[in-house]
Structure 1
Amino acid sequence: MKKYWQILKKYKVNLIVSPFLVLIFVLCETIQPLFMAKIIDKGVMVGDLSVVTTTGLYMILISLAGLVVSIINVFISSRTAIGFGTDLRTLLFNKIQQLSFFDIDRFSSASLITRLTNDISKIQQVIQMAMRILLRSPLMMVLAVFFVVRINSDLAMILVAAIPILSLAVYIILKKAFPFFIKVQQKVDRLNGVVRENLINIRVVKSFVREDFEANKFVNSSEDLRDMVIRASNIVVTIFPAMQLIMNISVTAILWFGGRKVISGELEVGQLIAFVNYLSQILISLMLLSMIMMSFSRASASSERIIEVLDTEPSLKDTAEGLLDKHKINEGSVVFRNVFFRYDGGENDVLKDISFHAKQGETIAVVGATGSAKSSMLQLIPRLYDVASGEVLIDGVNVKDYNLDELHSRIGMVLQNNELFTGTIIDNLKWGKPDATNEEIEEAAKAAQAHDFIMSFTDGYETLLGRGGINVSGGQKQRICIARALLRKPKILILDDSTSAVDSDTEQKIRANLDALLHDTTVFIITQRINTMQSADKVIVLEDGEIDAIGTPSELIEKSKVYQEIYYSQQIAF
Structure 2
Amino acid sequence: MNNLRRMIHYLGIYKFDAVLGILIVAIETSIELFIPVLMARIIDEGIAHADIPLILHQGALMLACAVTSLALGFFYARFASSASVGLGANLRQAEYEKIQRYAFGNLDHYQTSSLVTRMTTDITVIQNAMANGFRPCVRGPMMLIMSLVYAFSLNRDLAMVFVCILPVLAVALGVITWRVSPLYQRLQTSMDHVNRVVQENLTAVRAVKAYVREPQQCDVFGSVNSELAQGATKTFGTAQFNLPVFQAAIYTAATLVLWVGGQMICANTLTVGELTGFMSYVLQVMNSLMMISNVFLLLTRALTSVERVGEILDEEPLIASPATARALTAVPDGSVSFRDVTFKYRAEAEEDVLEGISFDIASGSTVGILGSTGAGKSSLVQLIARLYDATAGEVLVGGHDVREYDLAVLRDAVGVVLQKNVLFTGTVRDNLRWGNAKATDEELLEACRLACVDEFLDRIGGLDGDPGQGGAGVSGGQKQRLCIARALLKRPRILIFDDSTSAVDMATEAKIRANLASIPGVTCIIIAQRITSVMDADEIIVLDDGHLHARGTHAELLETDAIYQEIYASQVGHADKATPDDSLRGGEAHA
Q: TM-score, normalised by structure 1?
A: 0.95
The alignment status of 1:382 with 2:385, answered yes or no, reads yes
Q: CA deviation at 1:233?
A: 2.6
Residue 338 of structure 1: aligned partner: 340
**Structure 1 pair 27–334 and aligned structure 2 pair: CA distance change class (3 A):** same
Q: Which whole-Å deviations, capped at 9, do the CAs of 1:335-389 have from their partners, x for residues lacking one?
A: 1122221221321111122222111111111111111111111111111112222
Unaligned stretches of 5+ residues in structure 1: none
Render the CA deviation track for 1:109-163: whole Å, top value 9, x for unaligned. Answer: 1111111111122222233345322111111112222222232221111123322
1:323/1:403 contact within 8 Å kept: no
Q: Give 1:519's aligned amino acid.
A: P
Match of 1:213 among 204, 212, 216: 216
1:506 pairs with 2:529:
no
In 1, Cα distance between equivalents of 2:527 and 2:426 = 29
Of 358, 362, 387, the match for 2:361: 358
Helix, strand or coil for the counterpart of 2:367? strand
Could you tell me how far apart the structure 1 residues matched to 2:8 and 2:45 are?
52
Alignment of 1:87-236 (within 5 A): 87-236=90-239
Could you say if the C-alpha distance between residues 313 and 253 of structure 1 is closer, same or farther in structure 2, counting changes exceeding 3 Å? same
Is 1:249 the equivalent of 2:226?
A: no
- 3-state SS of the aligned residue for 2:237? helix
Aligned partner of residue 285 in structure 1, secondary structure:
helix
Quote how far apart the aligned CAs of 1:33 are. 2.4
Is the counterpart of residue 268 in structure 1 residue 262 in structure 2?
A: no
Partner Cα distance (1:514, 1:219) in 2: 50
Deviations 1:59-107 (A, max 9, x none): 2322111011011011001101111111111111111111111211212
Deviations 1:187-222 (A, max 9, x none): 211221111111111111111111122111111112
Pairing of 1:488-507 with structure 2 (within 5 A): 488-507=490-509
More deviation, 71-80/307-316: 307-316
- Secondary structure of 2:124's counterpart equals helix
The answer for the alignment partner of 2:476 in structure 1 is 474
1:8 is displaced (CA, Å) by 2.5
Query: What SS does structure 2 have at the residue aligned with 1:364?
Result: strand
Return the offset for 1:257. Answer: 0.9
Cα distance in structure 2, aligned partners of 1:189 and 1:65: 46
The corresponding residue for 2:583 is none
Q: Percent of aligned pairs with the same residue? A: 39
SS of residue in 1 equivalent to 2:393: strand
Tell me which amino acid in the other structure corresponds to 1:559.
T
1:533 aligns with 2:531: no
SS, match of residue 563 in structure 1: helix
Match of 1:419 among 411, 414, 422: 422
What is the aligned counterpart of 2:302 among 296, 299, 303? 299
Distance across 1 between alignment mates of 2:330 and 2:221: 50
Is 1:33 the equivalent of 2:26? no
User: C-alpha distance in 1, partners of 2:21/2:452?
Assistant: 62
Unaligned runs of 5+ in 2: 575-591
Runs of 4+ in 1 over 6 A off after TM superposition: none
User: What amino acid sits opposite 1:548 in the alignment?
Assistant: H
Matched, 1:282 2:282: no
Map Cα deviations across residues 424-481 of structure 1 (whole Å, 9 max, x no partner).
21111111111112221111111111134222334x2122343212222211111111
| Cα separation, 2, equivalents of 1:186 and 1:433 | 40
Local SS of the residue matching 1:456: helix
Corresponding residue of 1:454: 457
What is the aligned-residue RMSD (CA, Å)? 2.0
CA distance in 1, matches of 2:86, 2:390: 42
Cα distance in 2 for residues equivalent to 1:395 and 1:58? 82
Contact 2:460 2:466 in 1 (8 A): no
Secondary structure (helix, strand or coil) at the match of 2:457 reads: helix
Corresponding residue for residue 522 of structure 1: 523
